Structure 1
Amino acid sequence: MNRSELVKAVADRAGGDEAVARRHVDALFEAVMEAVSAGERVVVTGFGAFDRSSRPARSARNPRTGAPVEVPAALVPTFRFGQTFRNRVAQSAAPAEVAAPAEVAVEAAPAEAAPAVEDAPARPKKPKKGKKAASKKAPEKAPQKAPKKGKKAAAETTAPKKKSGKAKARAKSGK
């Protein structure tokens, strides 16, 4: 939802004109931004709290060149969700749809298989990031035969694709 869609939604709920709703939405945003920039905390009970926090100076790297860059200290706006807002979003996730297939599987399974379903974790764990996680994530492979040596073996393992011109010359020279 963008700003104009928000204005339309406010006008529909308030039963008023879109021009009036636009002025009210703009006034709300301006009031919040002015208060937070002045260092005040704006709390809307049930919705959340707008605040200002300071970020210390730090050293970073330019992703394109890799050169170190000094990032100055800054004041940044922050928002913390209220409990009512969190509950509303959590309810909209439709937990009934997620739980329904599990209940059907338990009912359809024989009595002996039911404990196995209960012992299984509800959600699979997310893999960790990094080199170690990548090695754990990779499926176990069957041991492979030792590679053959020589030109004939190299020809057998590569795809039989004809090359012409410079590519053919490079292939012959091994470059």
Structure 2
Amino acid sequence: MNKTELIDAIAADADISKAGAQRVLDSVIDHVIKAVTKSDTVQLIGFGSFSSGKRAARVGRNPRTGEEIKIAAAKTVKFTAGKGFKNAVNKKKK
């Protein structure tokens, strides 16, 4: 499912226009990005949590030459699936 298909599904489920559904989805995504950028966690009960993490600097290897390269530290985005989501994927009942 891509973003357009998701917007179509939201519009149908909520009985709103596709333009309205797109504004809602864009707003949700924007607020999740803003919160995680500020190191906040966005927790959606039954779905999952979005948070930020840190990846330490490390030494890697260029696979073509075998030469060592330094990989800088970086912030990462984590998603942890909630119990309801995991159960749905594994087809378990609550």
TM-score (norm 1): 0.51
The residue correspondences of 1:79-118 to structure 2 (distance < 5 A) are 79-91=79-91
- TM superposition shift of 1:64: 1.8
- Structure 1 distance, partners of 2:13, 2:63, is 46
The alignment's C-alpha RMSD in Å is 1.0
* Residue aligning to 1:136: none
Deviations 1:11-41 (A, max 9, x none): 1111110000000000000000010011001
- Structure 1 distance, partners of 2:2, 2:65, is 36
* Residue aligning to 1:112: none
Deviations 1:118-167 (A, max 9, x none): xxxxxxxxxxxxxxxxxxxxxxxxxxxxxxxxxxxxxxxxxxxxxxxxxx
Please give the secondary structure, in 1, of the residue aligned with 2:90: helix
- Structure 1 distance, partners of 2:74, 2:54, is 6
* Residue aligning to 2:49: 49
- Structure 1 distance, partners of 2:84, 2:59, is 38
- Structure 1 distance, partners of 2:9, 2:87, is 22
- TM superposition shift of 1:67: 1.1
- Structure 2 distance, partners of 1:43, 1:56, is 25
Structure 2 gap ranges (5+): none
Match of 1:83, as an amino acid?
Answer: K
Higher Cα Rg: structure 1 or 2?
1
TM-score (norm 2): 0.94
Question: RCO greater where, 1 or 2, for CA within 8 Å and sep 6 or more?
Answer: 2
Match of 1:30, as an amino acid?
Answer: D
Q: Choose between structure 1 and 2: higher helix proportion.
A: 1
Q: Percent identity?
A: 38
Match of 2:15, as an amino acid?
Answer: G
* Residue aligning to 1:66: 66
The residue correspondences of 1:19-168 to structure 2 (distance < 5 A) are 19-91=19-91
- Structure 2 distance, partners of 1:6, 1:64, is 40
- TM superposition shift of 1:56: 0.4
The count of residues paired between Structure 1 and Structure 2 equals: 92
- Structure 2 distance, partners of 1:27, 1:63, is 41
Does structure 1 residue 2 correspond to structure 2 residue 2? Answer: yes
